[in-house]
Amino acid sequence: MKKLINGVDQVVDEMLDGMVAAYPQYLKRLDGFDVVVRAGGSEGKVALVSGGGSGHEPAHGGYVGKGMLDGAIAGAVFTSPTPDQVFEAIKAANGGKGVLLVIKNYTGDVMNFEMAADMARDEGIEVEQVITADDVAVENSTWTTGRRGIAGTIFVHKLAGACAEAGGSLKDVKAVAEKVIANVRSMGMAVDACTVPAAGKPSFDLAEDEIEIGIGIHGEPGVNREKIGPINEIVDKLLTKILAEGIYNTGDEVAVMVNGMGGTPLMELFVANKHIKDELDKKGIRIYKTLVGNYMTSLDMEGFSITLLKVDDELKKYLDAPADTPAFVQA
């Protein structure tokens, strides 16, 4: 295994210190905790807090800043943060208007974030939560009851964060988050698995001519393995499954995210995006905005995911709103 680290036990700690050193205008780390919050605080607004295992960078700390998150917790690689870490993030991010937790649907995350929410409520902090579950590949998985939360979570951060920045109440911000969750779907694939530093080997094995369809973001294998073909055929498989949900119809407008899994060249992501546009054009589904890049990764995995978000005037307003974070800047 080749990893550019000093040691497995140090990697998350050193990563967070390196992030704060790079972006002190955005981020402040809580002493003694794997938590980053807005450097300037979040007084007078609803705060959004999210997080999960490390290894998904730029998620989640990269989205802490104006128009998105107020706090993010980094667990060990692919491991849920502990309740006390989440609790500290809630307290530090709280600006007096309540806190919304954005939780990806993994059993450990849901359990630990909910425990932390109860701890915060005991201290008089108003806390609400939403759970993202946008992955159409599987109904249940190794680490979930129900669908997994994957790259579509970034749209929740962006749109609910914009509502909070605009002065929305906790009820308003939660309603926007839930509206996004109801209208967002994703599916991914892998050319090669990722290597977790502590494991020292790929999370699953693929032959030179094989790909994995329907992977998760924690190195989980997908729903089926097949021979690699042209990327247009791969896009068709993912897009067909997403469109089969029945929520994207002729005349609808969507935001598209083509998300790299960490080790995929942008060249290949743009090739995928071309075919996505061609296919949506054929179906009369109009693209309002497109994002291409690494938004929710899986360490060094080679592959990509497709996310569609159906938008109306309200969601377009929040999608277009300014954001200023280390990983997402929009004027």
Residue 189, CB half-sphere, CA atoms under 13 Å: how many?
26
Alpha helices, DSSP H only, in the chain?
Answer: 11-22, 83-93, 107-122, 153-165, 170-183, 231-243, 266-282, 313-320
Q: Where are the domains of the chain?
A: 11-182, 184-330
SS3 of residue 280 by DSSP: helix
Residue-wise pLDDT tens digits, 190-234: 999 999 998 888 888 899 999 999 999 998 888 999 999 999 999
Report percent pLDDT > 70 for the chain: 99
Q: What is the pLDDT at residue 330?
A: 98
Separation in Å, CA 157 to CA 63, 188, 198: 8, 20, 29
Residue 161, CB half-sphere, CA atoms under 13 Å: how many?
30
Model pTM score: 0.97
CATH assignment, 11-182: 3.40.50.10440
Whether residue 158 contacts residue 323, with contact meaning beta carbons closer than 8 Å, is answered with: yes
Partnered with residue 147 across adjacent β-strands are none
Catalytic residues: 56, 218
Q: How far apart are CA 182 and CA 107, in angstroms?
A: 20
Picking from 297, 233, 64, the residue whose alpha carbon sits closest to that of residue 161 is 64
Residue 143's pLDDT band (boundaries 50, 70, 90)? low
Domain covering 184-330: architecture = 2-Layer Sandwich (3.30)
Measured from the Cβ of residue 30, the count of other Cβ atoms closer than 10 Å reads: 18
The residues, any chain, with a CB within 8 Å of residue 278's CB and separated by 6 or more, are none
Whether residue 172 contacts residue 159, with contact meaning beta carbons closer than 8 Å, is answered with: no
Q: How far apart are CA 260 and CA 245, in angstroms?
A: 23
Q: What is the pLDDT at residue 58?
A: 98
Q: Is 184-330 in the same CATH topology as 11-182?
A: no
